Amino acid sequence: MNIELIIKDQVAVAINSLYGQQVDPAQVQVQLTRSEFEGDQTVMVFPFLRTSKKSPEVTGQEIGEYLVANVTEVSKFNVVKGFLNLVIDNTFWIDRLNEAIPDDRFGFIPETDQSELVMIEYSSPNTNKPLHLGHIRNNLLGFSLAEVMKANGYKVVKTNIVNDRGVHICKSMVAWLKFGNGETPETNGKKGDHLVGEYYVKFDQLYKSEIAELMADGRTEEQAKEEAPCIVEIREMLIKWEANDPEVRQLWRTMNGWVYAGFDETYKTLGVDFDKIYYESDTYTIGRDEVLRGVKEGIFQQESDGSVWANLEKEGLDKKILLRSDGTSVYITQDIGTAQLRYRDYPIDHMIYVVGNEQIYHFQVLSLLLDKLGYKWGSDLYHFSYGMVELPNGRMKSREGTVVDADDLVAGMIDVARSVSMELGKLEGYSEAEKEHIYHIVALGALKYFILKVDPKKTMTFNPEESIDFNGNTGPFIQYTYARIQSILRKAKETAIAIPLKAETTSLNDKERSLLKIISLFPEVVKEAGKGHSPAVVANYVYDLVKEFNSFYHDYSILNEPDLSIRDFRLVVAQTVGKIIKNGFSLLGIEVPERM
């Protein structure tokens, strides 16, 4: 049982016994003892003074004496003003260690038939460009959140909605028709998503030049944007697409096919996957039908030009267009259809959308629209909002081709890992194939950890060189510690040292005690990460664990410890730390190398 919960329960019992007052254990305030004081858990005494009618010091003293006399987990205490610092007996920490030793899934809650189903949507790419650094944060957060929710006992379905239709897709198609000369990924050797993305950029360049020409002829900027020949072509192509024009549809299928192949390659490299992929081209008609139903039932309003709107002013928002005047759909229409289809396909208990914080308004609107359409789950949708990723030199812009491409970034990270490893000489004696495998693990570990250790809600700046440092709060530093532990365990095996199945000791030095305390926290960390939808909680816990282990390892020997019982105990501790690192990193989608 969690020590904090034990303390809360027992303090409530103490208050009732000492002062005859019932106290809800949940109202007892407990926190970790500050490092400058002796103790493990600190109880705030001030809330009990009205009941005790005594000073903070005397009240703390009386509660402390009661706990030491009646609670086996509390060995001693001290009172500092209104704070009761409790020292937890060594046997408690050793018992927690022994719970972890035989359990390969220590800290994880197993799924049962009664487990609730969580659907998590992430990635959501457009088929007009390759995945970039912003998509990487989205994919890594979504995949990691899915793993965290599984570890909390939920059934999880990972989904992706591919935005494969609309104005942005037509831009790449029009540009390819104008400038492509039949070019394909096979003829030029490029990944399909990269090729299509180049035409998206070319369209933007064409559009800007046509706007400039029209403005030079006397049009206003707004008129020029509306009348530019290429934008007129886009509108016409979208209408043809929705009318199932065979030529437009064939070009659309061909170019999207190029992009899907490219996406699959990138997903595989990143180590993310999906249980179900939805396509906007399949769901937008469902959403359109729902919107038209809403018009018939008086939920939405159709204007004289044929466009359909939702008036959300009573809810503190504004009017939202749902269908354009030409009958074509917008994003929110597709999301209505996708949501309905998903709830048909799965018995979803919780729906989580992993989408950047620039879409907060969008999901407020979606929730309201679904609720107005009569879907009871509309108001329960959860938008996992995260901050943008920036570079040291500023934000990225897709249309201008200034994004950091995901494939290029990963390749660059592998190059940096290779360079750093060669400089440090960490892989001497390894075959080239072994080296390349480790470079890949280290590079992806650096990338994933650097992104996932940050509070998802915060905007972050990504620095590849900083992320791959083998010192400090980085993925490679943690991976290296794991590999060091595995090296210790291999040496023990090679010298015929049998690692015990149970920790047998009552004496702990301060470093060992601190390490066992952190080990005991892992199950609560997993719960906190799930409750708060934050992989960063796991990432930073693993770093704290590794930092504490390295501090212990710096001060104390393991294999060379002359007292065999202490040596065996430390081997058990090291083995458990390694297991928790591996389990913790698995929640982040990060591999740990056995050698490094």
Identify the pLDDT of residue 430: 85
- Tell whether 275 and 374 lie within a shared domain: yes
In a domain, residue 409? The reply is: no
Kindly report the CATH number assigned to the domain that includes residue 52.
3.30.1360.70
In a domain, residue 398? The reply is: no
When pLDDT is cut at 50, 70 and 90, the band that residue 389 belongs to is confident
In a domain, residue 574? The reply is: yes
- Tell whether 272 and 141 lie within a shared domain: yes
When pLDDT is cut at 50, 70 and 90, the band that residue 417 belongs to is confident
Dihedrals phi, psi of 532, to nearest 5 degrees: -95, 0
Give the whole-number percent of the chain exceeding pLDDT 90.
85
Q: Is pLDDT above 50 for 400? A: no
Q: Which of 374, 390, 406 is the last residue of a domain?
A: 390
- Tell whether 81 and 134 lie within a shared domain: no
Q: Residues 34-71: pLDDT tens digits?
A: 989 999 999 999 999 999 999 999 999 999 999 999 99
Q: Give helix 133-151 / helix 522-531 axis angle, nearest 10°.
A: 120
Q: Residues 322-333: pLDDT tens digits?
A: 999 988 888 899
Q: Is pLDDT above 70 for 228? A: yes
What pTM, to 2 d.p., does this model score? 0.91
Identify the pLDDT of residue 402: 52
In a domain, residue 108? The reply is: no
Kindly report the CATH number assigned to the domain that includes residue 466.
1.10.730.10
In a domain, residue 146? The reply is: yes
- Tell whether 216 and 335 lie within a shared domain: yes
In a domain, residue 411? The reply is: no
Q: Is pLDDT above 80 for 205? A: yes
Do the Cβ atoms of 142 and 272 come closer than 8 Å?
A: yes
Q: How many structural domains does the chain have?
A: 3
Q: Give helix 229-242 / helix 192-216 axis angle, nearest 10°.
A: 130
Output the average pLDDT for the chain.
93
Identify the pLDDT of residue 396: 40
Q: Residues 254-309: pLDDT tens digits?
A: 999 999 999 999 999 999 999 999 999 999 889 999 999 999 999 999 999 999 99
Identify the pLDDT of residue 397: 46
Domain that includes residue 10, residue range = 3-88
In a domain, residue 83? The reply is: yes
Query: How far is the C-alpha of 75 from the C-alpha of 72, rounded, in Å?
Result: 7
- Please state whether beta strands 350-356 and 117-121 pair in parallel, antiparallel, or not at all (unpaired): parallel
SS3 449: helix
Residues whose CB is less than 8 angstroms from the CB of residue 563 and which lie 6 or more positions away in sequence, other chains included: none
* Mean per-residue pLDDT, 166-181: 95
In a domain, residue 98? The reply is: no
